[in-house]
Amino acid sequence: MSQLPQSAQLTACPVCHEPLDPADNFCGGCGADLSAAAPAAVPPGGTAGDPRRTARYREPDGHRPAPPGTPAVPGQAGLPSAGASGTPGTPGTSGTSHASGATDPTGATGRRRVCGACRSGMIDDDGYCEHCGHAQPRERDHMEHETPGVAAVSDRGLRHHRNEDAFAVSTTTQPDGGTAVLAVVCDGVSSAARSDEASTAASAGALASLEDALAAGTPPREATHRAILDAARAVDALAASGHRAREHRHHQQENAPACTIVSAVVTGELLTVGWVGDSRAYWVPDDRTTEPARLTEDDSWAAQMVAAGLLSEAEAYADERAHAITGWLGADAYEVEPHTAAFQPDRPGVVIVCTDGLWNYAETAERMAAVVPSDARERPLETARRLVGYALDGGGHDNVTVAVLPFPARSAEPGAA
């Protein structure tokens, strides 16, 4: 069949180089019309300049690089550690987010919308124009929220066609009248199905668990451990629910929904973090003459090799398997082992909670501290924006999500955000 479109044989978009599925008619990254991506035979009566061969594009979006450097050791910079442990509303937030250029494939009445690019095609369920293939802006492309004591920003980045990160932030009152400030950040595993749903379910589930436990007087470290397990159950439920896979991936055998998680809780003079996977938390003091610290250790192949003494850090992180995670939330995880750690900083500063979309560009604690503004504790939302911008300026190869928690916590009215 010489008339079959050559797009079925393409493995990568000729415009932005995004990997393609055999059945794709349009690029998921840049919206290019793949049927026009390669020269075809000129139809009878046609010319080489036939307008049917013209592709329509939007600004390119696509994978991450940046080999990590030497990990910092948690518990530095005036942070006496209680020890690390491996045992005992809209998308991205538990409340309101601010989305940039967001559109819904359906209008308020439930009817399908007309494409804003070509003004003639209708938008399908995945947010693409059926006529020109232009990807419409989505609510999750960029999200921000600030509540007293914490701020967070999430961005799709410059290469991926959707944002698979999520965050949830809030404050709650403890039985003694003190305020607890909470932040949860999750990174969907890109090789898994519905990873955007996984990160949303995990962040919302963990936040709700933390709020309930802390309001009931549960110690922060115990509450964090419990919250991560509750988040894991929320992600497992996605696999059990039997939701259909996205239509353009129906022919693939898919992994169960999965994501990483990292959380931070600021209560009085105590800072508590918890994590599974390679999303991270950093401590950056106001006084930059004192050392910052990385508060988490990755669940990754490289970290395991170094911990076992099988490879040096340089050897491990030079390996192509370095970023392969060994811990995650999802039905495919053999056993979820939450890590928790507690610290008592002896000076003011900020806690940076982030996905690898940021730390790939600022891997060490020293590098992270160098890009955090000096007034971060007074302007957490602006700081989160600056850090996301830093990652985008560095290439934006991945989704980027950052939460900033000033320490000690500001007095605040409890409530989710």
- In tens, the pLDDT along 240-289 reads 875 554 444 554 567 899 999 999 999 999 999 999 999 999 999 999 99
> Backbone phi, then psi, for 114, in 5-degree steps?
-90, 140
- Which pLDDT belongs to residue 280? 98
- Which pLDDT belongs to residue 71? 37
Percent of the chain scoring above 70 in pLDDT: 70
| CA separation, residue 45 to residues 2, 42, 348 (Å) | 17, 8, 75
Q: What is the DSSP letter of 28?
A: T
Average pLDDT, rounded, for the chain = 79
- In tens, the pLDDT along 304-324 reads 999 999 999 889 888 999 889
CA 363 to chain centre: 16
- Which pLDDT belongs to residue 255? 86
Structure tokens at 308: 């076992």
Q: Which domains does the chain have, with CATH numbers?
A: 1-60 (no CATH), 81-102+139-416 (3.60.40.10), 103-136 (no CATH)
Q: What is the DSSP letter of 130?
A: T
Beta bridge partner(s), residue 385: none
Structure tokens at 217: 């007087």
SS (H, E, C) 216-233: CCCCHHHHHHHHHHHHHH
Identify each DSSP E strand in 43-122 by its residue range. 81-85, 98-99
Structure tokens at 289: 């003459």
Residue 177 to residue 210: CA distance in whole angstroms: 16
Contacts of 6 (CB under 8 A, 6+ apart): 35, 37, 38, 40
335 C-beta neighbours (distance < 10 Å), count: 6
Contacts of 133 (CB under 8 A, 6+ apart): 25, 26, 27, 31, 32, 33, 56
- Which pLDDT belongs to residue 131? 87
Contacts of 49 (CB under 8 A, 6+ apart): none
Q: Is the pLDDT of residue 298 over 50?
A: yes
Residue 294 to residue 408: CA distance in whole angstroms: 18
Q: What is the DSSP letter of 339?
A: E
Residue 142 to residue 392: CA distance in whole angstroms: 12
| Contact (Cβ atoms closer than 8 angstroms) between residue 136 and residue 116 | yes
Confidence of residue 173 (pLDDT cuts 50, 70, 90): very high
275 in helix, strand or coil?
strand
- Which pLDDT belongs to residue 240? 83
Q: Where are the alpha helices (DSSP H) in 88-142?
A: none
Q: Is the pLDDT of residue 335 over 60?
A: yes
- In tens, the pLDDT along 83-118 reads 444 433 334 444 334 443 333 433 333 567 777 667
Lookup result for tokens 């996905």: 355
Q: Is the pLDDT of residue 212 over 60?
A: yes
Least confident of 7-16, 76-85, 259-268: 76-85
Q: What angle do CA 408, 81, 362 make, to 5 degrees?
A: 70
H or E segment to which residue 343 belongs: strand 339-343
Q: Is the pLDDT of residue 208 over 50?
A: yes
| Contact (Cβ atoms closer than 8 angstroms) between residue 361 and residue 390 | yes
Nearest to 257 by CA among 312, 360, 333: 333
Give the mean model confidence (pLDDT) for residues 334-346.
95
Please, which contacts does 367-374 make with residues 24 or more away whose CB atoms are closer than 8 Å?
367/69, 368/282, 368/284, 368/292, 368/294, 369/282, 369/284, 369/288, 369/292, 372/284, 374/286, 374/288
380 in helix, strand or coil?
helix
Give the mean model confidence (pLDDT) for residues 7-31.
65
Least confident of 8-17, 230-239, 241-250, 263-272: 241-250
H or E segment to which residue 166 belongs: strand 165-173
Residue 369 to residue 363: CA distance in whole angstroms: 10
- Which pLDDT belongs to residue 79? 53
Nearest to 284 by CA among 218, 374, 390: 374
Q: Which of the two residues, 383 and 68, has the higher pLDDT score?
A: 383
| Contact (Cβ atoms closer than 8 angstroms) between residue 345 and residue 283 | yes
Identify each DSSP E strand in 54-164 by its residue range. 81-85, 98-99, 142-147, 150-155
| Contact (Cβ atoms closer than 8 angstroms) between residue 141 and residue 155 | yes
Least confident of 16-20, 166-170, 323-327: 16-20
| Contact (Cβ atoms closer than 8 angstroms) between residue 236 and residue 194 | no
Least confident of 142-151, 329-338, 406-415: 406-415
Residue 234 to residue 213: CA distance in whole angstroms: 17
User: DSSP secondary structure string, 95-143?
Assistant: S--EESS---SB-TTSPBPBPTTTSSSBB-TTSBBTTT-PBPP-GGGEE
